[in-house]
């Protein structure tokens, strides 16, 4: 099995907002792009690894929230790499519709009042658009893994599973407090916004049933399978659906 590395790229400090870089022997995949204007931070992180934008082979955007898709349009140009995303969020990527944010608690409501999640970003059109339950094999880009739909956080949310039983799941789950930051970093919790928590919990359990052992997150993390299972089963037990 090919040795793969996952490098966290800090968009905000303390794991508050993460992008990730999947490194294979000859391939590099960037997962998420951070808030608008994050391309310089990503460029510096690449430089510390001895890489440049041109070394990126593929950009995967897990969903259309501004802290994940905000710099994708800029990076699409800088990297000259295709973007992979899901058709369910296409209208938001293209800025044809304003994203609706369903706050999960006081912190999400506070963020909405600040206006940060509502910041527009440069529109872009993904080069590779998954539809419905379509699965994309990353071997085309030299990585042993797949990308597929995991709706619930948004309609077009997607996740990546690698052959070594690690998963990158965007905002299906978060950890810590204040967007993953200063305390309880090993404890799973809901992200600030979520459309359908019960569907998200089902998606997490499906990933666990397929043997995923470590989960890399947009906020906080990574988390082990046992903590993700505890969290997902609690959400299902409470029946938190909007």
Q: How many CB atoms lie within 10 A of CB 202?
A: 17
User: Alpha-carbon distance 68 to 191, whole Å?
Assistant: 13
Q: Which residues of the chain have pLDDT under 70?
A: 1, 181-182, 239-242
User: Alpha-carbon distance 96 to 114, whole Å?
Assistant: 22
pLDDT of res. 206: 97
**pTM of this structure:** 0.95
Q: What is the pLDDT of residues 125-165, one digit of tens each?
A: 999 999 999 999 999 999 999 999 999 999 999 999 999 99
Strands 174-175 and 166-168 turn out to be: unpaired
Which DSSP category does 193 fall into? B
User: Alpha-carbon distance 141 to 187, whole Å?
Assistant: 33
H helices of the chain, in order, are 39-48, 66-69, 72-79, 90-93, 106-114, 197-209, 225-238
pLDDT of res. 242: 45
pLDDT of res. 240: 56
H helices of 80-188, in order, are 90-93, 106-114
pLDDT of res. 177: 80
Which CATH number, 3.40.50.720, 3.40.50.300, 3.60.15.10, 3.20.20.80, labels domain 5-238? 3.60.15.10
The tokens describing 146, both together, are 């797949």
Strands 166-168 and 214-216 turn out to be: parallel
pLDDT of res. 19: 98
Burial class (CB in 10 A: 0-12, 13-18, 19+), 237: exposed
Task: Give yes or no for a contact between 39 and 72, defined as CB atoms under 8 angstroms apart.
Answer: no
The tokens describing 60, both together, are 């995967």
């Amino acid at each position: 099995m090919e040795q793969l590395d996952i490098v966290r790229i800090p968009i905000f400090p303390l794991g508050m907002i993460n992008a990730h870089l999947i490194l294979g022997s000859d391939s590099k995949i960037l997962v998420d792009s951070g808030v608008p204007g994050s391309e310089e931070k990503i460029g510096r992180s690449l430089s510390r690894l001895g890489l440049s934008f041109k070394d990126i082979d593929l950009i995967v955007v897990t969903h259309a929230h501004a802290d994940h898709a905000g710099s994708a349009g800029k990076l699409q140009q800088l990297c000259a790499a295709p973007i992979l995303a899901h058709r369910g969020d296409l209208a938001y990527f293209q800025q044809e519709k304003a994203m609706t944010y369903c706050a999960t608690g006081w912190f999400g409501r506070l963020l909405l009042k600040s206006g940060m999640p509502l910041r527009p970003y440069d529109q872009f059109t993904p080069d590779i658009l998954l539809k419905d339950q379509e699965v994309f094999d990353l071997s085309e880009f030299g990585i042993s893994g797949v990308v597929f739909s995991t709706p619930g956080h948004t309609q077009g949310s997607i996740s990546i599973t690698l052959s070594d039983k690690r998963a990158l799941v965007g905002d299906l789950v978060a950890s810590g407090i204040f967007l993953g930051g200063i305390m309880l970093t090993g404890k799973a919790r809901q992200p600030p916004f979520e459309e359908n928590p019960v569907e998200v919990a089902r998606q997490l359990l499906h990933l666990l049933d397929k043997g995923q052992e470590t989960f890399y997150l947009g906020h906080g993390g990574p988390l082990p399978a046992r903590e993700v299972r505890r969290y997902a089963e609690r959400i299902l037990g409470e029946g938190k659906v909007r």
